[in-house]
Each structure stands twice: as C-alpha cells, then as structure tokens.
Amino acid sequence: MLSLEIQHTDGKARAGVLSTPHGPVQTPVFMPVGTAGSVKGVTPEQLTAAGSQMILANTYHMMLRPGGDTVAKLGGLHAMMGWEGPILTDSGGFQVFSLAHMRSIDDEKVVFRSHVDGNTVELTPRKCIEIQRQLGADAIMQLDECPPGNASFEQVASAVDRSILWARECKCAWREDTESDQSLFGIQQGGVFEDLRARSAEALVELDLPGYAVGGLSVGEGHQEMARVLDAADSQFPADRPRYLMGVGEPRDILAAVQRGIDMFDCVLPTRNARNAFAFTWGGPLRMRNAKWTDQAVPIDEDCNCYTCRNFSRGTIRHLFMAREMLGPTLVTIHNLHFFAEFMSAIRESIAVGTLESDAQRWVCGMYPAAQEPADEN
C-alpha cells in the first residue's frame, strides 16, 4: 500500500516521500506517460537515467490491446515494460469519453465501440478494478465519468454523482482482494463549479481511500480557472494522503498546483512535444526544426547534464529531424524527461528552504518570455 510522509512545507506546498511496493518516490513528482505499456522512444534504462521515478500506463489502451489477461500472463506491467519502479494506471474513463465511438452510459456501466477494431466493449466499475489488478500497478484509479470542458452545470453535476457511485463500487471491488498491495485513488470531478467540486471531494473522503486525484481539469478551462479550482484542494483532501492532478504537465500549471498542495502529476507533454521537435528549457521552449540551428554546435541547453546535451548539438538534432531519423525524437525525449525531473527536483528543494513563491515567479518569467505563448501539445 502507498503511504505519504510530508517532510517539508512552504505555504500549502508539500515535499515528501511516497512509499510504494516498488520503492520510494520523492514528491512532488511528475510521471511520464507510457500509454500502451511503453514510454515512446526510450528504454527503461534511459527513463531511469533521465531521473524518472514513477510512470503511468493507460488502462483503456492496455484493455483493448493486448488485453488484461495477456498482460497478466506476461507477468504484469512491470515485467512487460521492463520497469522496476512504481507504476500508476489510470481508469480508462477519460479515454472512453474522448476516444471511443458510439458511447452509451448509465449508472451501471459505459458501453462503447473500440477505436482499435470497432468491437463493442462494456466497462463497469468492477471490471475497471479487475483489469487494473491484472495490470499489477502500484496505484490504480476508480472509474469516473469525464464531462467535456464546455459541459453545462447539469451535465457536470450528473457526472459528479455517477463518479461518486462508481467510486463506492470500485472500493468494494478493490477491498475484495485482501492480499493485494495496490492502492486505490478516488477521482474528484466537478468542472469549474466550486460547489460540485466540494460535493465530490466530501463523498470521496468519506470512503477513506489511500489517495485522491483531481480530474476534469486541463480540458480547456485555462490556467487561471485551473488555479481557482485548485485553491480549495488543500482543505478538501486529507493532509496525509497523496493528491494527484491528472493530465497536467505545463510547467506553470505544475507550479501553481504545487503551491496549492498537489503532489503528483502526469502528462504526455514532454514526450509528445519531443516527437514534434519541441524542447523544454529553463529559458523557454526551442523548436528544433528551426533553420537557425543548422550549424549551431551548442547543445539544446548548455547547463543541462542529460545524455542528449552531453553528446549532441542543436545542429545535429535539427538534421536528424529533417532527415526523419528516429534518433532525433529519442534525443529530445531524453532531454525533455530530464528537464521535467530536474524541474521537479528544483521545486522540492525550493519547498525545503521555503523560497518556492519567489523561485516560481523567476522560473515562470524565464520559461515564458513575454513574446512567446506557453507550450502546447502540438
């Protein structure tokens, strides 16, 4: 089971250690996404070298291909992925509501047509837990309903009530396996509506779960609205349980969330953007296909100690992208993963010495020059 020890605080910000069956994790932590059982373009050894501590895999994708039974026969996700560290699996709910076709939903289940082969699939709270049990992750998520960012109050309220119901059913299914060392997280929904967020959090906390996640953000509401919603998170969830903001990876969003008491993050941003020649640096983003790098012999970031920056120049990386060589995306992925690991390490150190507010302002000014827009997922 997971347990969280808070070692330092700075305002609402917390730094500590999350103990898991597969080792300790320093928090706040960013988790790279291995959607289909692999963090695209890199090996587990490269993930470790880049400083990644914990990774995420996607229940929806693993359920459809190769299937939970197959993953279990291969020894679970840890064996399949060759990853010895902690793993979190999401419930698949977000993907059901964003990728699947011809959905129908009621309080018992969601039925959808697979985007892979068109087959009809039924997902219930119990089946969600059973599949994640087969996957063998350290942290697992309840099935929830994810309303779109532009949903009405009535639609969001319905999703909150259904997600609460499903959280209770997921807990019952999870508790049946008394020998499991997996930890179940509940997922708060509620969009940007404060009263719905409070209702969701109150019901989840009553379930006394090992961890709590904030879902339904980073769906188009914008940075300020996200921060406003998160203002209440510290008071809504127990201080001794990990708090996980799902699907958020923009550095300024991470900083705002950490300052509001969030401990865990995941996003495809560093890896997906890397495949599109987008490199993160403390001085702002670099587009590695830009012609101005053609004969530049300097690394992506001269102050970075990652494998890529120690061995390859901007000019070389640009050439690899222009020549469509696989090495180009891999090198930028390694760099971006290292950047995010170093970014989170800097946040933890800043919390420990009590300077997060001033450091965050300085970092945001450096990463988001006035003439540039924040990074997107391309």
Q: Which residues are catalytic?
A: 90, 266
3-state SS, the chain, equals: CCEEEEEEEECCEEEEEEEECCEEEEECEEEEEECCCCCCCCCHHHHHHCCCCCEEEEHHHHHHCCCHHHHHHCCHHHHHHCCCCCEEEECCHHHHHHCCEEEEECCCCEEEECCCCCCEEEECHHHHHHHHHHHCCCEEECCCCCCCCCCCHHHHHHHHHHHHHHHHHHHHHHHCCCCCCCEEEEEECCCCCHHHHHHHHHHHHHCCCCEEEECCCCCCCCHHHHHHHHCCHHHHCCCCCCEEECCCCCHHHHHHHHCCCCCEEEECHHHHHHHCCEECCCCCCEECCCHHHCCCCCCCCCCCCCHHHHHCCHHHHHHHHHCCCCHHHHHHHHHHHHHHHHHHHHHHHHHHHCCHHHHHHHHHHHHCCCCCCCCCCC
CB 89 within 8 A of CB 101: no
The tokens for 153 are 């109050």
